[in-house]
Amino acid sequence: MRVTSKGQVTIPQHIREKLGIAPNSEVDFLEEGDRVYILKKMAGGLTKRFKPLRGVATVRMTTEKIMQLTRGSE
């Protein structure tokens, strides 16, 4: 595989298919020592990952009560 003068490489088709990388997909690079890994960015990032957890807390508190607990008495 060659790097172009613009720093571009072609990701082999079997890898694109395996990772689900399509045109306009975003990827990240992870460096570990002298190795570099390509990672497909997840749409929505952490927001998407934590979305299923939204609203599952069992403690019911008002915003005012939470602020008192986190900031202390004023």
Q: Which residues pair with 36 in a beta bridge?
A: 31
The candidate with the shortest Cα–Cα distance to 51, out of 43, 41, 40, is: 43
> Does residue 31 surpass a pLDDT of 90?
yes
> Does residue 73 surpass a pLDDT of 70?
no
> Does residue 45 surpass a pLDDT of 70?
no
pTM for the full model?
0.49
Long-range contacts of 7-15 (CB under 8 A, 24+ apart): 11/38
* 21 burial level (CB within 10 Å; 0-12, 13-18, 19+): middle
Domain positions in the chain: 13-71
Provide the token pair at 43. Answer: 């749409």
